[in-house]
Amino acid sequence: MGAPLLVLILLGTVAGLIVIALTAINPVGTAIAFVLSSLAMAVVVLSYIWLDRWEPEPPRLLVFAFLWGASVAVVISVILGLWIESLIVSGDDSETSWVSVAVAAPVIEEAAKGLFLLVMCTGRRRRELNSLTDCLVYAGFVGAGFAWLEDILYISGGGSVGESLLTAGIRLILGPFAHSLFTTAFALGVYFALHRRGTLAKVGCVLAGYLGAVLMHGLWNGSSVLGPEVYLGVYVLWMMPVFALAIVLAVQSRRREQRIVAEKLPGMVAAGLVTPNEATWLGSLATRNHALAAAAQVGGKPARKAVYEFAAQVVELAFVRDRIDRGFGDERVYAMQTEEAYAVHAARAATPALQSLAHFRAPLR
């Protein structure tokens, strides 16, 4: 849905060709960069997968997001960056460098990364953006993909192994989440835009999010040019507090998702889509995990997977219903509600393992 296999192959090929070209220029540096950058971005990706446990996004779209960051966003940024740098006329090389790094790069890179979130707002992809968590996860994957390839570019550009390791330490230890954090501001703008009715309000939210991303990115890049003291000061006094705030925001957003589902379960019980017993364990991650473990004990991995898919479908229906209850129910959304309700019914029919949970009660926490 929204990410054809051909598109994924094309984007992956572009990223692969860039890495191959770097390897031909500097084999040792690129090998070091590839390994270290991949390890660092694995931590970033796993963190977002952990955040996305309540309503997991389609794997194909997550791969699409990562590859967009590692190919489309990087290519756009490099091409436009070189073009703008050629237009900057200044007798002072240091001034030209500062403008390029602190102004031009953030403006171009945040637009290139944020474009993916705008693509997600079109067509059937729009139905995947049910919550702030969804927006944050896609932004995180795009940022991780961009950072993965950008770090390889910078680290492999070192003149020696020692220089490459020093660059890796600065980029991968101090700022592995940096690009994902910048794009988070754009994600906030998109999320609020999806909750506005007027076109002007929607555009305003997106622009505000974009400007926030550019501001954070510009401060980060600009401080690195002004010297290590300024860089560390911005890192400690600005980046770390903002990162902590983003973590709190992400955790609160996931808790809100859980509350939405819990609030919609009584209506599903009344409609006969969910039994009263199932409602006791569908309302939280902890109780749902206990139910999945019980299903696995009875029917193994297939039973666990079937129950998991049923629970995920219930969550999808809950978010559609929440959209209607908040006053955003148009003909398309009501059609989605009918589609999701039938999907819940179909998931139940295809999940005999639910019978083994007829009398299941999750342990009290």
**Any domain includes 347:** yes
Identify whether residues 34 and 111 lie together within a single domain: yes
CB-based contact 60:138 (threshold 8 Å)? no
Identify whether residues 204 and 313 lie together within a single domain: no
Q: How high is the pLDDT of residue 159?
A: 63
Identify whether residues 80 and 216 lie together within a single domain: yes
**Any domain includes 52:** yes
Q: How high is the pLDDT of residue 365?
A: 52
Identify whether residues 192 and 86 lie together within a single domain: yes
CA–CA separation, 65 vs 67, rounded Å? 6
Please state the domain count of the chain: 2
CA distances (Å), 301 to each of 5, 109, 288, in order? 27, 42, 15
Which tokens sit at 124?
């059937």
**Any domain includes 222:** yes
Q: How high is the pLDDT of residue 363?
A: 62
Domain that holds residue 55: 5-226
CB-based contact 62:141 (threshold 8 Å)? yes
Cβ density class 329-338: b for 16+ within 10 Å, e for less? eeeeeeebbe
Q: How high is the pLDDT of residue 158?
A: 67
Identify whether residues 62 and 208 lie together within a single domain: yes
Identify whether residues 103 and 158 lie together within a single domain: yes
Domain boundary among 226, 245, 268: 226
Question: Mean pLDDT, 10 residues at a time, over the chain (365 residues)?
Answer: 74 91 88 91 95 89 95 93 75 67 92 95 83 94 96 80 71 86 96 91 96 95 84 88 93 90 92 88 88 85 87 91 86 89 86 69 59
Identify whether residues 194 and 305 lie together within a single domain: no
**Any domain includes 252:** no
Identify whether residues 58 and 135 lie together within a single domain: yes
CA–CA separation, 50 vs 53, rounded Å? 6
Which pTM was predicted?
0.90
Q: How high is the pLDDT of residue 173?
A: 80
Identify whether residues 129 and 274 lie together within a single domain: no
